Amino acid sequence: MKALLIALGLALSSSCVLAQHTDKETQEDIKRHRAMAAAHEGAAKCLEAGKGEKVCMAELQVACKGLAIGKYCGMRHAH
């Protein structure tokens, strides 16, 4: 069992090394994170304005199209 865990750990750590980004990819990630943050800030302001969760989530989905995986723009929280 211990040998299996060690092998799994080595496999995971080596796959992380292969997943390193180039400078260009890192800059693209930074832009995406900032765009997602702006979309979420817009959703918060929408809710503050009293527009309702359905309207605000629809606006968030439009703002996040193509930025993140899933309909919650890469972030989902419990209700």
**Residues 53-71: tens digit of each pLDDT:** 999 999 999 998 888 887 7
Q: Residue 39: is its pLDDT beyond 80?
A: yes
pTM above 0.85, yes or no: no
- 10 Å CB burial of residue 34 (0-12, 13-18, 19+) is exposed
pLDDT in tens, 4-25: 556 555 555 544 555 688 999 9
